[in-house]
Structure 1
Amino acid sequence: MILQSLWRERRDNPIFLWRLSSIKENVRLSCEAGLCPRLDFAVEGTLPDRNEASPILLACGDEIYFYRFARQLALTMKEHSPSTRFHLHLFEPSALCIADAQMLEARIGKQLSISYETGQRNPYGRPHTVFFAAGRFAIARYLLERNHVPVMVIDIDGRVRRDLTDAFDALKHHDVGVVWRQSQYRPWRTILACAVFLNMTEPARLFAARLAEALRLSLMKQPAYHVDQTTLHYLLHYYSFHHLKLKAANLGLTWCDHQFREGSLIWSAKGKRKADFLRFDTAEADRIVSGTSVRLGGA
């Protein structure tokens, strides 16, 4: 039964040693390669204002997730944390999706910026969740280098529940922040990639560059399994083993709470509970953004 279970979950579970060793090797290469390459793909759309010093909350996804979740995230951000900047990045959106994103951007105001990219760097040649999950960290690195402000990467299927200002301020003395699960011991389970904090410090910028490069190397092999959480695990292990300078915080689940606890900063959909997030109250959305012309139901 155990072997059957492992084989059945093989697409999302890097249990086989060659998968783990490949990710670990890519982390080593990214750390020992000196300066990591700059981004070599085009980002279109609107980007956050370079003249503002406030942190950026970043979420990335494809067109399907834009219609299902991203607009809810933007609307609840406007309601509960109006001073926090939110950047949304879309992978390979259609012309209609770009138009709807621009409409949402206009209604929310300057708090929201939306960019997008074509399939230029997608090694799969088609929409793929593994690329979306891993490719977002190149966007995080891009914003970190471009805007010189802290960036918090979260899952796109979230909903802001509290003002984030004080929570960002509490992280100002750390370089990075991740969601550690101390009860887990498997490399692909120890860290949840639903929230990753990157400060504007030099150690954080180097960490972000190495993370993006290690993920790029893994994506080149078109893996059928997710590599973002395992890469974060091995990169942090590399830093610890080699005693590299890095102040890392444990974010806990408050930035991506899939248990929907009342005191959390952000609720995050997970597994079967994603359906709960699709029951978004259109009347509530209209109250937040009066007169919006953006469709608020499912795609």
Structure 2
Amino acid sequence: MTVDLAQYEFGPIKKKRHSLYWRASIFLHCLLASRYKQFYAEQSAKYHSSLDYDIIHTLQGNEVILVACDSVYFFDYAIPFLRSLSVFDETTYVHLHLINPSSEVKDSIRKLRIELSTMRISYAIDPLTGLDLPKRLNIYYNCSRFIVADYLLELGARRLLILDVDTIARSSPWRKLEGFEHEGAFSFRPKARKPWHKILAGTVYFENTPRVRVFAKRFATSLLSILARNPNYHIDQIIPFYLLKIGKRDFKGVFGKVPTDLMSLSYETSASLWMAKGREKYESKFQSEIESVNKRHQLDDEPALKEAGGLA
């Protein structure tokens, strides 16, 4: 079974807000997810059974970076991100949630597993058949990594760092989280007025603890249930805000603020991760970083790839 993508809309959303009706609906679904353990359980099981996993190195007990992308973003951003992570003197686990990927993507991952010796790359293929999709498909794209995060915790990942794929690593992000006192972290914006601006979802940290597992499950089922109602704006930021508001007692002291030197949207030199949002990903500063990473690896690793049979 395949999905006809022609029936869906892509690109920027002009009306960047949730109406009062949608805010009430989203809050209600978050409340149901918080009160009933079996909320949306059947639909969640259907979603996860539709995914095809390729995990050649166990995630059990390991720190895992999780990103999601389609074929275009895989070649434009995931490859340079993986390459930027590979230069550090440590083994790094990354899980890719691949949305309707081309055969070229899978071929490229095979080559990257050869090229990047310090990386342990796993992935799941999402055929888009396991859920009720919204008309604006990019709304789902932004949610997908948070839907699968709970499952990776079930597989035993010790810690998850859930990121936007349009990111470049300049130092090990896990070093910035050494000694972090909370079980999870979001980029909180308490001064923002609108509930969908109170949290930024570009960088999220989960430790595999009982309370975080509860939150991750509520997050996943809330996303799936609202996606089925065909929302007209992004929901990956408003839902965690409502879940934390509803579960104030359940999650007291669990979530802290993402460390300031972990991720920067303004390309601070002290930050481990440089992340680009919106049009900024196409601008010269970020693109020059991508170009530098790709050139360095093409020069360093092409002989090894040829020797291993990874290049035609």
TM-score range, shorter chain: 0.7 to 0.9
Match of 1:181 in 2: 189
**Shift in Å, 1:286:** 2.0
Q: Point out where structure 2 has 5 or more consecutive residues left out of the alignment.
A: 1-11
One of 274, 295, 298 as aligned partner of 1:283:
295
SS of the aligned residue for 2:17 comes to coil
**Which residue of structure 2 lines up, in the alignment, with residue 83 of structure 1?**
91
How far 1:256 moved relative to its partner? 3.3
* Aligned equivalent of 1:5: none
TM-score by length of 2: 0.82
Q: Deviations over 1:251-279 (max 9, x none)?
A: 04544311011000110011222014344
One-letter amino acid of the counterpart of residue 45, structure 2: L
Matched, 1:263 2:270: yes
Question: How far apart, CA to CA, are the structure 1 residues paired with 2:169 and 2:140?
Answer: 25
TM normalised by structure 1 equals 0.86
CA deviation after TM superposition for structure 1 residue 238, in Å: 1.1
Letter in structure 2 aligned against 1:21:
A
- Give, in angstroms, the shift of residue 198 of structure 1: 1.2
Distance 1:148 1:78, change over 3 A: closer
Amino acid of the residue matched to residue 116 of structure 1? I
Structure-2 change in CA distance of 1:285 and 1:39 (3 Å) = farther
- CA apart distance, 1:20: 0.9
* CA distance in structure 2 between the aligned counterparts of 1:253 and 1:22, rounded to whole angstroms: 33
Are 2:45 and 1:39 equivalent residues in the alignment? yes
Equivalent residue number for residue 255 of structure 2: 248
**Percent of aligned positions with the same letter in both sequences?**
21
Shift of the 148–56 alpha-carbon distance from structure 1 to 2, 3 Å rule, reads closer
Provide the residue aligned with 2:168 in structure 1. Answer: 159
The count of residues paired between Structure 1 and Structure 2 equals 285
- Counterpart secondary structure, 1:169: coil
Q: In the superposition, relative to structure 1, how do residues 182 and 287 fare at CA in structure 2: closer, same or farther (>3 Å)? A: farther
2: CA distance, partners of 1:126 / 1:99:
30
Letter in 1 for 2:272: L
- Return the letter of the residue paired with 1:259: S
Q: Is the 8 A contact 2:59 2:157 kept in 1?
A: no
Are residues 1:25 and 2:28 paired? yes
- Equivalence map 1:192-231=2 (5 Å): 192-231=200-239
Task: Name the SS of the counterpart of 2:161 in structure 1.
Answer: strand
1:119–1:126 distance in 2 versus 1, CA, 3 Å: farther
| Equivalent position SS for 1:89 | strand
After TM superposition, the structure 1 = structure 2 runs for residues 88-167 of structure 1, keeping only pairs within 5 Å, are 88-109=96-117, 110-124=119-133, 128-167=137-176
Deviation (angstroms), 1:127: 8.0
Distance in 2 between the 1:278 and 1:247 partners?
A: 36
Aligned equivalents of 2:91, 2:141: Cα separation in 1: 27
- CA deviation after TM superposition for structure 1 residue 129, in Å: 1.1
Query: Deviation of residue 34 (structure 1)?
Result: 1.8
The amino acid that maps onto 1:33 is Y
Equivalent residue letter for 2:112: L
Q: CA RMSD in A?
A: 2.5
